[in-house]
Structure 1
Amino acid sequence: MQETLITQINKERLPKHIAVIMDGNGRWAKEKGQDRLYGHFHGVESVRSIVEGTAELGISYLTLYAFSTENWDRPVKEVEGLIALLVDSIRKEVPTLNKNNIRLHVIGDLSMLPDFARNELNEALEMTSTNTGLNLILALSYSSRWELTNAVKQIGLDVKAGKIDPENINQDTIQQYLATSEFPDPELMIRTSGEYRISNFLLYQLAYAELYFTNTRWPDFRKEHLYEALIDFQSRERRFGKTGQQIQEEKQLA
């Protein structure tokens, strides 16, 4: 099935940046009579599959919503288990990331992480910092409202310090203060598990992204599901507020 689907993908029209809300681990586990951590554990294999799939296609950026600021409110046992799983997974995967020339990035309020987790992350960031292939971005202890609030605070401080003239603040200014300032905006956002919302994820950056929702639970999500999302993405006409006729005319002139 994978082989058939991949032949339908136009390699010249791939999104540069894909963002994924990895949803459904808990429900997947519950359906199997297991606790939620069982689902998170099996979701790691899906991460491996999708990272590999995007890297093989030559996609430049992949952002995975790993843990939101709201997730800190979940039961203590689940939170502790998630953090331990994250640290263990990163420790084990760094050699593979380096082997495949993948660079790791993290966005989010890392001050909320325990010291051992933050230290492990920083070590992984340093060990992959010279890689030049896929940029794998983990949104960890992240929420878009946190990000935007932090950006406004920093802009305000720089205005107060005389570094910015408020009259000159524009969209580019805001973009420079976001956690994602180093990366292009996602062109495709995928959410698994049948939920139709974006859950405080990259609210500013997803302004013109194509949104793709699938009923597949995250632990079952594999390369063929990624290919299906890409085929759907390539079937859409991206207009960015223009009319379809304008887009066609621009294509003819190009």
Structure 2
Amino acid sequence: MEKQRSYPELMDRFRRRAEETGATFETAGAFECPLGRYEIHFMRMRLGAGTQRICISTGMHGDEPAGPETLLEAMRRLRDNANRLDADILLFPCDNPTGWELNTRENWQGRDLNREFMKQGQAEEIRIVEAALAGQRFDFTLDIHEDIDTYGMYLYERARPGRASLAEEMIAALRRRGCPIEESDVIEGLPATGGIIVPKGPLRRSDLPKAVYFWHHGVLQLITTESPGKLDLKRRVEMQLICFDVFIEALAAGRFVRPEAVTWDI
């Protein structure tokens, strides 16, 4: 297993960005493997009264580098808009340290960590992440991913009844900027319309992606962005940030404030 990137260098970049933006930089836990010892980190940004609870994640798959690059710039944009935002934001910059270093979707064991939530005998990385998330409930979650096989952007979205689609606004913003959209009627085996997958019906309750874990833990609305891996990295980051700017406007408008007395149980 030959390392192609440095995880400590990536975390140094996030540590500096946390200092620049007023975020905390914390350690969720550590694990050891044949490649060495790794710490998994998260950051927290509290803006205003912290009313809207948000979680933003990336770096689940090591061959999707636009995610961490997007998050580094996204933190700047959150800071620059802090005076009009009211949110408590948890940020996970890289859940898969060994995959990042090896440039592989899976971790060093060949396990897809985005199928390890709420799983018996789960990978150590996800045990650490789940422990960091324990007892927390979010109003909106954003998972930043890439699809290495596509030339067009697409999104997953799931929302509780009565909530307006944010994915539609993101796709509209991408179209206005001339960005390619994945227009297939079926994406990753799921029905899609205009670049948006809206999973229907009940969801399984074990061996889960992180987004589904959040759904079972009461999130009001979630989006997973998938930038097209066939394009160059700079363009992919630009497309992710167009979506992120739409999220910032929704956050500024208070669209993720949880209605009183509304809960969604696991």
Q: Which has the larger radius of gyration?
A: 1
Task: Give TM-score scaled by structure 2 length.
Answer: 0.35
Relative contact order higher in (CA < 8 Å, ≥ 6 apart): 1
Larger proportion of helix: 1
If each structure's strand is expressed as a fraction of its own residues, which one has the higher value? 2
- Please, what TM-score do these two structures have when normalized by structure 1? 0.36
